[in-house]
Structure 1
Amino acid sequence: MSLLKLVGVLMDYPQDALWQHREELLEAANDPALSPARRRALADFVRGLLDTDPLTAQDRWLRLFDRGRSMSLLLFEHIHGESRDRGQAMVDLIEAYRKNGFELAAKELPDYLPLLLEYLGHRPEAEARDWLQHVSNIVGLLAARAAERESPYALLFELLVEYADGKLDLGVFRKRASEEPRDDTPEVMDRLWEEEAVRFGAEAPGEDCPPTSRPAGRPKAAAQVQP
């Protein structure tokens, strides 16, 4: 299992089946491309995740990645938000997958980071690094936000930054993350749902009026891509 695929598997919503692959994941974490310290940290992450009850691990994942937008694993949400440019970017990314012989095996948004990592795990290393360099600012900010929330998932994002080039100054992102308001608090989430409450009659939006934001909800697991 490549490092990128491993990170994608660990970053994805922890399905129950993950607990059946403990030894395989620990073996993959012992990647010789990583420093001894990083190998130990990654193995500790795997053990910590799999030593946790699945329901508890799933709840922690949802609390981190599915509340608010700041920790979204949908890359284009950080770039385009809800603009129409996001749709075209999705089309272009799907075409890039298909051009290289990969088809999504499930209906999943192509910019879902674990899915992108699954794809890049099959591509030449130089190409994979180039892709990650293009999104390194997003990944770096996710790393900083996860660290600010004292989440062990910060390690996975840091590994991606290092894989891309290792030159990104995470200190800058950590400072930003420490100063920005949280968007996952109960107060903020309640306000979001109030703003997106269904309206009837004259106040109802037209069918051509897109939502201003994406309500939180349990995501599907990353689709598998087949070479």
Structure 2
Amino acid sequence: MEQVACLQIISQFLEYPEQPLWDMKADVEEAIDSLIFLSPAQKDALYAFYESLLENDVLDAQSEYTELFDRGRSLSLLLFEHVHGESRDRGQAMVDLMNQYQQAGLEIDSKELPDFLPLYLEYLSVQGRDKAVEGLKDIAPILALLGARLKERNSLYSLLFDVLLSFSNSGVKASMLAKEVESEDRDDTPQALDAVWEEEQVKFMGEEGCASAQQVAHQKRFSGSVQPQYINIDSLSGDKS
């Protein structure tokens, strides 16, 4: 039950920050303190993240969250974004995951997609320890990718991903992807976001049958400007650190 309770806490920390996290400081700290079987390092990581969050007011924390997770795709908390991108396989994966939630009796808020990481963690938290560990192991490469990118940006959100990876017993660590992430093009800069937007506009016009030769050339120009943010989930296994 220890890990299950911790998943619930981390799920809340990865949600869009809201005032209750500030108002319930004593309760949240008590909940962390009650996780007596966490290692000192794991507990310190949760405390460090929470204390850092509370150093900002709610609006500043919300702005930081949006800048991290809602600009570009590299830090998207939608799990399948990092595996399927916009392919049709993503739709079927969504349906399969939704079925798992329904079988577990989990009520899904219509505003969230089923592969939203905090929602997935909430699901795992009601599955029991063994299934929760297995569920984390399934997404360990994605957790490592996100953790490595957050470390690259000096974000304390990376601490939460370290704890999740340690629970997964997968042997996968964010450090395995540090060099790869360091060489990535950032996809959250104004230039990168503009390039993607312009490419999508040209693609849409092409699908409508209105693309000129100049527009097609424009699309090709930007097709390699932002490094793909997908990961092969089979590319990491075992403890290679």
TM-score range, shorter chain: 0.7 to 0.9
Q: 2:80 aligns with which of 68, 76, 83?
A: 76
Q: 2:12 aligns with which of 9, 19, 23?
A: 9
Aligned-partner SS, 2:17: coil
Q: 1:47 aligns with which of 35, 43, 51?
A: 51
Give structure 1 regions of 4+ aligned residues with deviation exceeding 4 angstroms: none
Which residue matches 1:26? 29
Which residue matches 2:216? none
Over the aligned positions, Cα root-mean-square deviation in angstroms equals 2.1
Q: Using the alignment, how far apart are the partners of 1:36 and 1:166 within structure 2?
A: 20
Which residue matches 2:192? 188
Of the structure 1 ranges 101-110 and 135-144, higher mean CA displacement relative to structure 2 is found in 101-110
CA drift at 1:199: 9.0
Q: Structure 2 vs 1, CA of residues 14 and 198 (structure 1 numbering), >3 Å: closer, same or farther? A: farther
Which residue matches 1:36? 40
Taking every aligned residue pair, what percent have the same amino acid on both sides? 45
Q: Structure 2 vs 1, CA of residues 87 and 199 (structure 1 numbering), >3 Å: closer, same or farther? A: closer
2:166 counterpart of 1:136: no
Aligned-partner SS, 2:24: helix
Q: Structure 2 vs 1, CA of residues 131 and 199 (structure 1 numbering), >3 Å: closer, same or farther? A: closer
Q: Structure 2 vs 1, CA of residues 169 and 105 (structure 1 numbering), >3 Å: closer, same or farther? A: closer
Q: Using the alignment, how far apart are the partners of 1:162 and 1:137 within structure 2?
A: 12
Which letter does structure 2 place at the counterpart of 1:4?
L
Q: Structure 2 vs 1, CA of residues 185 and 126 (structure 1 numbering), >3 Å: closer, same or farther? A: same
Higher relative contact order (CA 8 A, sep 6+): 1
Select the structure of larger CA radius of gyration. Answer: 2
2:123 counterpart of 1:113: no
2:178 counterpart of 1:174: yes
| Count of aligned residue pairs for this structure pair | 206
Quick check: 2:144–2:161 contact (8 Å CA) kept in 1? yes
TM-score for the superposition, normalised by structure 2: 0.79
Q: Structure 2 vs 1, CA of residues 107 and 171 (structure 1 numbering), >3 Å: closer, same or farther? A: closer
CA drift at 1:167: 1.6
Quick check: 2:17–2:58 contact (8 Å CA) kept in 1? yes
Q: Using the alignment, how far apart are the partners of 2:183 and 2:25 within structure 1?
A: 37
Which letter does structure 2 place at the counterpart of 1:20?
D
Which letter does structure 1 place at the counterpart of 2:10?
V
Of the structure 1 ranges 62-71 and 163-172, higher mean CA displacement relative to structure 2 is found in 163-172
Aligned-partner SS, 1:175: helix
Aligned-partner SS, 1:90: helix
Aligned-partner SS, 2:156: coil
